[in-house]
Structure 1
């Protein structure tokens, strides 16, 4: 065979030790450990997501503003609905009245105690320092639920 040409018979077979030296001995234990830890982290993340969705998807107290009316220069009324998970939950709610320049001109904090039914339709009056143009229901909180809903 002329020089510079390679034959498949020459050096075509390489030993297993040459291949393992060149490319490694399959999967080391470290890679298996990384895969196991990644799977555990994924399962833990999904379990946490399911718990958060279940916990925050059913708040202890939630509320909605149905309507509001500006009665005069120093008073506005709001009609709202408050729903609690059960009637024993004490709900603290906040209404705000705003002026035309978007400043707060009145607030009303009120509490629904455990003797009220689970779902309550209310009309509340907010005293204002000057004429309001809108009323916002910030929301209701309960023990264990710091975020108003």
Structure 2
């Protein structure tokens, strides 16, 4: 029987302790990097440099739309800008404006080519913040 046991031990020899430890360390590094990226992504998206929302819009005749928006600037040094578009009944763009906001509620008047039937608040971006908020 010892011959069979020796034969099995030679055939199914376990790896060296060094190789096992190297795999464990590499796995721990990959897991730590994934956790670090996840925490960074959560922090980045929960702390925008500027945030905004459109409160209302009102047609001001056939060539203008008045938009009321609420903008919160958390980092003024990031030079925020906001974009709003106006669309006609046929869904074509009839006016747009990109502007530098102030923090708080503000009213913007957009000149249009013809009567607008809807307004799209694209949101605000800032240096280092590509996703509109």
**What's 2:8 paired with?**
19
Q: Give the gaps of 5 or more residues in structure 2.
A: none
Q: Give the gaps of 5 or more residues in structure 1.
A: 1-10
Which structure features the higher share of helix residues? 2
Normalising by structure 1, we get a TM-score of 0.78
Q: Distance in 2 between matches of 1:79 and 1:108?
A: 13
Deviation, 1:37, is 0.8
Residue range with higher mean Cα deviation, 86-95 or 39-48: 86-95
Kindly indicate whether residue 113 of structure 2 is the aligned counterpart of residue 124 of structure 1. Answer: no
**What's 1:56 paired with?**
45
Normalising by structure 2, we get a TM-score of 0.87
Measured against aligned partners, the alpha-carbon deviations of 1:6-38 in whole angstroms (never above 9, x if no partner) come to: xxxxx4x556532211211x2333343223212
Q: What is the root-mean-square deviation of aligned Cα atoms in Å?
A: 1.9
Q: Distance in 2 between matches of 1:32 and 1:56?
A: 36
Task: Give the number of equivalent residue pairs.
Answer: 132
